[in-house]
Chain A
Amino acid sequence: MKITESPLLEVKNLQTYIKTKKGEIKPTNDVSFSINRGEIVALVGESGSGKSVTSLSIMGLNASAIKYKPESSIEFKGRDLLKLKEKGLRKIRGNEIAMIFQDPMFSLNPVHPIGKQIAESVVLHKKVNYKEALKRALELLNKVGIPDAARRINDYPHQLSGGMRQRVMIALALACDPELLIADEPTTALDVTIQAQILTLLRDLQQELNISILLITHDLGVVAEVADRVLVMYCGKVVEEGTVDEIFDSSLHPYTRGLMSSIPPLHGISKDLLDAIPGVVPNPLELPKGCNFVTRCDFATERCHQVEPELTRYPSGNRVSCWNKLDKEGEMKEHVTTSINS
């Protein structure tokens, strides 16, 4: 990937909030990151950390209860998606940015044949008639590895297995050659063996089409397989960012380390994250005063309880928000004062 090029997508200070009777929830609290062309960026974190809200913000498909602070911006090819009108967003959705969702059981319309559902997207964005769109749908179904696609194109979703349905969703997302594909936990609802197949498919398609992918997952094991860069989210904040190598060789945040120790030695067999990191994600209405992770961190000091750490770039390349720089062994060391601000 070329670093000189400007990023395809740049999320800056994404701050969302929901007003509830009990107070304000901030599903994403000042999230910033970018995705370059042809890059696979993984967004990792436990359930409730704000991954879906982040991705739906890019699509402009968040629930209406979710509002944006004015300093938030999401630049896609030079346009701020958050400032676009609904009509402008509709031209981008499915066309330049496409999305696949967690549960393929429910994300396809049960009363329409799969070919029709793919063709709908093609007709919407390309100047083709329905018949040509169906041809395109068939081509896509073949591309994502649906066996006997010519016959299957008239099948209804309930006639396909979960893995096949997720392949159909991928075909649907690729229908108009998008530049960015957002995959929100695309394998979470699938069997382990199928998970690996879908990931391989995504990686192969990415290389063939040179698209960018934002891959959302709560499983770091998935990340190691496909991603170029990793963002770790906790309680609506990015707490660590780095390349896959940086994260796997020298992750600095105790939360990232906790996630890593939850990867089982035999890849694929996903273990419950709660086993690895003691305690639970704090209630979004009652976040701790200092670092959000303080309630579950073995290394928390008085400072961690009082002052929130900022995302800081370390000499190793990672960006981390933690007062305690951790070395490879996981021992606690003095906070490095020479760290440079990113």
Chain B
Amino acid sequence: MFFKFIMRRLLYVIPMLIITTLIVFSFILLIPGDPALALLGENATPEKIAQIHAQLGLDQPVIKQYLNWLGNAVQGDLGRSIFTGQPVEEAVFSRLGVTFQLVIVAMIFAIAGGLFFAITSIYFPNSWMDYVARFFGTLGTAIPNFWLGMILIIFFSLQLGWVPATGFTSITESPGAFLQGTILPAIALGATGMAQITRHLRSSLIEVMSADYVRTGFSKGINRWQAIMKHGLQNAMLPVVTTIGILFGNLLGATVVIETVFAIPGMGQLAVNSILQRDFTMLQGVVLVLIALIILINFITDIVYALLDPRIEY
């Protein structure tokens, strides 16, 4: 039954992916500037430009360009960077690993912190922890991530010298160096998410804790901690799961800024460079993979939701 549910959800994903490719392809066409000019410089001859256009397939009808690109993309070939000639999928996937590790650490930070703040705030109502959680939940969502990133660099790297200000080491190379390199950008990236989860989960828990079934729990003789952890949390998490899914997409988008601030060679940085260089094949690949990733996250969100809520019909 659950397998069938997953398969059905997957079926929804396919048309979404097709629409995505259409949008990605047509938006790239709308970006101003001629890639041939970017390649050749301002004083290129018309013949040279035409030659480059032919090389890139830009002289063909748009539909044909799209179908060619799609056909190759399905086979895992996203074309070559018009700037460096490197296969796009190679560049994208090597960068994706970096961004993915960063975003995962940021998500863990946001979720763990959100759970901690929300739960302590409910367990110790009107304590200083509660006020911290409320204050952070309200104002934390307004912290600009690049600003927080720079503050963190100035304080922890430049002044205290605890961690390097820039650079990235993959977890597969050295977990220690990985943590040193990701901790600050992950905090900068995840702080607003942590605030969002804190606020949302806290209000959700408040509602759930006054539910009849929690009172039933108390009438069995459980204590407040058991009431929160065994009866409150799973119910309170239901609406928050959606927030977390959306957050993941937001964090992916925010890496564009954070990777630039921390000089991390990830997808965000690749996207920025591709735009600056009018490397449209590269940009297509980057955006396509990012959107596909967000669709995948939505899919996972649906499944997690169904696992948490037995009332969902498979």
Contacts and interface: CB of A to CB of B under 8 A. Distances in A.
A101 B311 contact: no
B34 interface: no
Given A101-B216, A103-B212, A109 B222 contact: no
A169 interface: yes
A106 B207 CA distance: 13
A158 B220 CA distance: 21
A17 interface: no
A152 to B, nearest CB: 14
A145 interface: no
B310 A106 contact: no
Contact of A111 (B217, B222, B309): B309
B223 to A, nearest CB: 6
Interface in A137-174: 156, 158, 169, 172-173
A172 B213 contact: no
Contacts of B211: 106
Contacts of A175: 220
Contacts of B308: 111
B222 A158 contact: no
A169 B221 CA distance: 15
Q: Describe B's contact surface by its main secondary structure.
A: helix
A94 B219 contact: yes
A212 interface: no
Q: Describe A's contact surface by its main secondary structure.
A: mixed
B234 interface: yes
Given A109-B231, A110-B311, A120-B230, A101 B221 contact: no
Nearest to B230: A120
Contact of A91 (B221, B234, B310): B221
A215 interface: no
Given A61-B215, A110-B213, A121 B220 contact: yes
Contacts of B220: 93-94, 98, 120-121, 124, 172, 175
A107 interface: yes
A107 B216 contact: yes
B221 A108 contact: no
A109 B308 CA distance: 12
Q: Which among A93, A99, A111, A117 has the highest number of chain B CB atoms within 10 Å?
A: A111
B213 A107 contact: yes
Contacts of A108: 213, 216
Contacts of A54: none
Nearest to A155: B310
A157 to B, nearest CB: 8
Q: Which among A98, A121, A169, A175 has the highest number of chain B CB atoms within 10 Å?
A: A121
Interface in A307-321: none
A159 to B, nearest CB: 8
A61 B218 CA distance: 8
Interface string B270-314: 000000000000000000000000000000000000001111000
B235 interface: yes
A117 B220 CA distance: 10
Given A106-B212, A107-B213, A59 B219 contact: yes
Q: Which among B213, B216, B220, B223 has the highest number of chain A CB atoms within 10 Å?
A: B220
A11 B216 CA distance: 23
B304 to A, nearest CB: 13
B311 A124 contact: no
**How many B residues are at the interface, by size bracket?**
20 to 34
A297 interface: no
Given A156-B310, A156-B311, A158-B311, A109 B221 contact: no
A95 interface: yes
Nearest to B214: A109
A269 B119 CA distance: 46
A103 B216 CA distance: 11
A236 B185 CA distance: 61
A158 B216 contact: no
A101 B222 contact: no
A106 B221 contact: no
A85 to B, nearest CB: 12
Contacts of B231: 109, 112
A56 to B, nearest CB: 9
A44 to B, nearest CB: 22
Interface in B182-236: 211-223, 230-231, 234-235
Interface string A114-136: 00010011001100000000000
A124 B216 contact: no
A90 interface: yes
B311 A90 contact: no
Nearest to B224: A86
B222 A107 contact: no
A92 interface: yes
Contact of B221 (A90, A110, A111, A112): A90
Contacts of A120: 217, 220, 222, 230
Interface string A284-317: 0000000000000000000000000000000000
Interface in A197-250: none
A173 B214 CA distance: 14
A61 B214 CA distance: 11
B219 A109 contact: no
Given A90-B223, A121-B221, A172 B235 contact: no
Nearest to B211: A106
Interface string B8-36: 00000000000000000000000000000
A65 B215 CA distance: 16
Contacts of B230: 120
Contacts of A125: 221
Interface of B: 211-223, 230-231, 234-235, 308-311
Given A61-B218, A110-B309, 14 more contacts: A61-B215, A90-B223, A93-B218, A94-B219, A94-B221, A106-B211, A106-B212, A107-B215, A109-B231, A110-B310, A111-B309, A120-B220, A124-B222, A175-B220
6 contacts: A61-B215, A92-B221, A93-B218, A99-B219, A109-B235, A111-B308
